[in-house]
Amino acid sequence: MNSFKLPIFLKINENATNNLIFKLEKEFSNIRDKKVIFFTSKKIYSLFKNKINRFVKNHDKLTVFYVDNSSYDIAVKVAKKISIEDYEYIIGFGGGKILDTAKYSSYVSKKTFISIPTTLSNDGLASPIAVLKTKEGKAKSFGCKSPDGIIIDTNIIKNTPKRLLIAGIGDTLSNYSALFDWKLDCRTNNNKANDFAYLLSETALNMLLFSKESDIHSKNFIKELAQSLVLSGLAMEIAGNSRPCSGSEHLFSHSLDEHHDLAISHGLQVALGSVVSCILQDRDKKILIDFLNKYEVNISPKALGISKDVFIESWLKAQETRPDRYTILNEIKLDKNILEEIYINIMEVL
């Protein structure tokens, strides 16, 4: 049986970060007496200078650490500092790079971690996965632990650029093809999917697919997106792996990252991958396309700057990125002609 540890608390509301230290005292009564390291970036600091300064003012043992780059080496180096200098609490305030660095540092140093995202671009804000750069700047996913607490201030999120919210939508959308691949693996290899992890991932997906909100910057939609990403993260924690939210569509995204430097958000890559995976899985992709059109999410390869050759090569090499992950790619024989036909087809419908 897989053991898992869910966050102690979750707050998703307006002004959730106001009087932060006082609110954290309700969850961790000794936090004011302990050393706290606060991960952010200089860019995030410039945007939230007054708020961060209030955090520092209200806790005389709080140190700010600026994340310049989300690399494995930096995360481990800071974990060493945390352990040697006796920090007890780690707060991550920012986007995915900041949160993943703080999350992995907390995992290595075995300290309490509170995740405070300033955007909703992926499920990393709640997942037991940290994406960090390794050799030659290549991103790699590392298993770690879920945050001990999650605070999502919807007043902060509502000012997030649309492209970042769209990325979060795309990341959740990938659950659609990932869950199919997970079931496929179970049927073929006599594995067992955790029912509760499956339910959480499916619920996260359906919350957005069947949302009645049309404005992604509305208070209700932001809350739905936040809940969806948190549920996806918790699904992975319960499953003990990323299977509830990562299938063939993620292998395509990993392949793009490993072989091409296109600077496309992870969420849009996996959303495109999910549409293609649906075709390969012989499923109706219309539900995904209608959803993308509803929120004006353009994942056309042309719009993303993915040429036909790059598209074909990335899919042909996708399985190599995680040979141990059984997906639809193990069941079909992909070739250049099939992928060229799919590329032309999705260019017409997206």
Q: Per-residue pLDDT tens for 27-61?
A: 999 999 999 999 999 999 999 999 999 999 999 99
Percent of the chain with pLDDT over 70: 99
Q: What's the rounded Cα separation, in Å, for the pair 294 and 215?
A: 10
Average model confidence (pLDDT) across the chain: 95
Does residue 191 have a pLDDT over 70?
Answer: yes
Domains identified in the chain and CATH numbers? 9-157 (3.40.50.1970), 162-349 (1.20.1090.10)
Strand spans (E) along the chain: 9-13, 35-40, 62-66, 87-94, 112-117, 129-133, 139-143, 149-153
Residue 137 backbone class (left: φ over 0; alpha: ψ -120 to 50; beta: rest) = left
Cα three-residue angle 176-179-181, rounded to 5 degrees = 110
Contact 173, 127 (CB under 8 A): no
Torsion on CA atoms 290, 348, 311, 137, rounded to nearest 10? -50
Contact 11, 152 (CB under 8 A): yes
Tokens of 327: 């997906």
Residue 2: pLDDT band (50, 70, 90) is low
Instruction: From 171, 221, 180, select the one nearest 327 (Cα to Cα).
Output: 180
* pLDDT for the residue numbered 15: 95
Fill in the DSSP letter of residue 29: T
For 211-244, how does the pLDDT look when each residue is reduced to its tens digit (9 = 90+)? 999 999 999 999 999 999 999 999 999 999 999 9
Instruction: From 178, 240, 241, select the one nearest 204 (Cα to Cα).
Output: 178
Specify the pTM. 0.94
